[in-house]
Amino acid sequence: MPVKNRFAELHQDITAWRRDLHEHPEILFDTHRTSGIVAEKLRAFGCDEVVEGIGRTGVVGIIKGKSDSSGKVIGLRADMDALPIHEVTGLDYASKTPGAMHACGHDGHTAMLLGAAQYLSETRNFDGTVVVIFQPAEEGGGGGREMCEDGMMARWNIQEVYGMHNWPGMPVGSFGIRPGAFFAATDQFEVNVKGKGGHGAKPHQAIDPLVTASHIVTALQSIVSRNSDPDDQMVISVTGIESSSKAFNVIPASVMFRGTMRTMSKTNRALGEERFKALVSATATAFGCEAEIKWLPGYPAMVNSEAQTEFAADVAEAVSGACDREAPITMGGEDFAYMLEERPGAYILVGNGDSADVHNPEYNFNDEVIPAGCSWWAEIVERRMPVA
Ligand SMILES: [Zn+2]
Ligand SMILES: [Zn+2]
């Protein structure tokens, strides 16, 4: 089965919705316009229930099948938020908001799930219930977590959840997925190393926090190379360092550095945090400094369930002819992790073709992905809950 014919008919409409969303990007939880459009369309499609305000600006739509002898309830999730990036694509529907841009394709994700919701509302060709989930604040705000905390899974008795992200560099409409940990846990840290400032020519009268911080930054890489199991991917990146001295000849009193730790397993996440704190404190002490550590937990690793991943890959193969079932792990984070912690499910990548990478000011979602993406959503529902 290739893509569904109905999506060839709806392709133009869905593209127009996508481009309108692209023109009006909204960041984090401030997706008021987008959420309003989503809710209005879901009502117009004839969804059985549309609820706004789940996870602040999240929207949930319920679509009941022709029958419900299975008692199954499947959640399909899209993200709606944009990024604080200034768009330079020069498109005629480029962002009208300076400094905000749909640079991760969430405009496409929202439009495709809306398209699927329209089709599923029209056809109802399944035995059970679909919950379409539109979340805000995927890009760092934890909108998915907040929807879960609002009790979404229990309120609608959701039993499985599915998610999809476009992926630049993969052929348009092709799919990739893998079971187990797929996206990383994304913790962050900020460390303030305090010493004693002084004249650059009289280091013996100072306690140099910059030399100390440099040793710490170097030592941190030993967590990845010496403590972590080589089979278990891990990244520690120190991405910024700031000295309290702006002069050529003044040893600073303090130095701050910050960065991120990416891990794929709970074991490495705990080990990394523990080793990080021990190395920072002990190294600072060894050099006569003090270190203040701010550990900022981020999203957990996103882990695909085995059975649902295999099913999602079978559906992708039916839609596009092939599916890479061993797509490479990404050390990026994904807020869908919280939904997968609450319910079994799977998250799949769909090729965006030869485009600029996500989070790049040149990026654009490829509208040619729409028929394959929508078909995957619809087919997930019709195959998982077939009518008798
Ligand atoms: Zn992103
Ligand atoms: Zn994204």
Cα 370 to middle of ligand 2, angstroms: 16
Rounded Cα distance, 18 and 120, in Å? 19
Cα 159 to middle of ligand 2, angstroms: 24
24 Cβ partners below 8 Å, 6+ apart? 33, 34, 95, 96, 97
| pLDDT score for 1 | 59
* pLDDT, tens digit (0-9, with 9 covering 90-100), for 83-101: 999 999 999 999 999 999 9
Ligand nearest to the CA of 365: 2
Cα 101 to middle of ligand 2, angstroms: 12
| pLDDT score for 3 | 85
Cα 30 to middle of ligand 1, angstroms: 16
* pLDDT, tens digit (0-9, with 9 covering 90-100), for 94-143: 999 999 999 999 999 999 999 999 999 999 999 999 999 999 999 999 99
Cα 105 to middle of ligand 1, angstroms: 8
Cα 358 to middle of ligand 2, angstroms: 7
Cα 164 to middle of ligand 2, angstroms: 9
Q: What is the mean pLDDT of the chain?
A: 97
Cα 349 to middle of ligand 2, angstroms: 11
* pLDDT, tens digit (0-9, with 9 covering 90-100), for 158-176: 999 999 999 999 999 999 9
| pLDDT score for 388 | 84
322 vs 95, more confident: 95
Ligand nearest to the CA of 360: 1
The percentage of residues in the chain with a pLDDT greater than 70, rounded to a whole number, is: 100
For 282-298, what is the mean pLDDT? 98
* pLDDT, tens digit (0-9, with 9 covering 90-100), for 27-86: 999 999 999 999 999 999 999 999 999 999 999 999 999 999 999 999 999 999 999 999
| pLDDT score for 332 | 96
239 Cβ partners below 8 Å, 6+ apart? 258, 259, 260
What's the chain look like in SS3? CCCCHHHHHHHHHHHHHHHHHHHCCCECCCCHHHHHHHHHHHHHHCCCEEEEEECCCEEEEEEECCECCCCCEEEEEEECCEECCCCCCCCCCCCCCCCCECCCCHHHHHHHHHHHHHHHHHHCCCECEEEEEEECCCCCCCHHHHHHHCCHHHHCCCCEEEEEEEECCCCCCCEECCCEEEECEEEEEEEEEECECEECCCHHHCECHHHHHHHHHHHHHHHHHHHCCCCCCEEEEEEEEEECCCCCCEECCEEEEEEEEEECCHHHHHHHHHHHHHHHHHHHHHCCCEEEEEEECCCCCEEECHHHHHHHHHHHHHHHCCEECCCCCECCCCCCHHHHHHCCEEEEEEECCCCCCCCCCCCCCCHHHHHHHHHHHHHHHHHHCCCC
Ligand nearest to the CA of 78: 2
Ligand nearest to the CA of 166: 2
Cα 261 to middle of ligand 2, angstroms: 19
Given a contact cutoff of 8 angstroms between Cβ atoms, the answer to whether 151 and 91 are in contact is: no
Cα 139 to middle of ligand 1, angstroms: 6
Cα 180 to middle of ligand 1, angstroms: 21
| pLDDT score for 48 | 98
Ligand nearest to the CA of 79: 2
Cα 300 to middle of ligand 1, angstroms: 16
| pLDDT score for 357 | 98
Q: Does residue 2 surpass a pLDDT of 80? A: no
Cα 197 to middle of ligand 1, angstroms: 41
Cα 138 to middle of ligand 1, angstroms: 7
Cα 109 to middle of ligand 2, angstroms: 9
Cα 332 to middle of ligand 1, angstroms: 9
